[in-house]
Amino acid sequence: MKSMEAFQVVMQMTIMPMIFLSGVFFPVGNLPSWMNFIVKINPASYGIDSIRQLMLETTASSDIALPSSMPVSAISLTLFDHALTVPEEVFIVALFGTLMIGLAMLAFNIQE
């Protein structure tokens, strides 16, 4: 990137789809399999789900007052049939952040 404007365009084109596909605006429990795959590879999904669990005070094993039509799995992410806890989701986000920082350091070390 040679200009600030180009960087802002790339970031906007990256962040907006990640937010829309992270489950902010819809529950991720009953998605089609192809969309469920996209949600689970999106690192924003894990950050948003951990915030949702903290705000709603839900865990996979808690008895919370949800409408009968909405199971707990509809508001929390599952990975390999395991409902993720907040520390596990924070670990996933931290792992992704560490990986991206490492890639950024490599990219900045490359001389033009």
62 touches 37 (CB < 8 A): no
- pLDDT value, residue 21: 87
**pTM value?**
0.71
Residue 2 CB contacts under 8 Å (≥ 6 apart), including other chains: none
Highest mean pLDDT among 62-66, 70-74, 93-97: 93-97
25 touches 5 (CB < 8 A): no
Highest mean pLDDT among 1-15, 59-73, 88-102: 88-102
- pLDDT value, residue 59: 52
3-class SS shares of the chain: helix, strand, coil, % to 5: 60, 5, 35
- pLDDT value, residue 112: 63
The answer, yes or no, to whether residue 24 has pLDDT greater than 90, is no
Question: For residue 15, which phi and psi values (nearest 5 degrees)?
Answer: -70, -40
Q: Which domain holds residue 60?
A: 4-109
Residue 59 CB contacts under 8 Å (≥ 6 apart), including other chains: 53, 76, 83, 85
Instruction: Specify the number of domains making up the chain.
Output: 1
Residues in the chain: 112
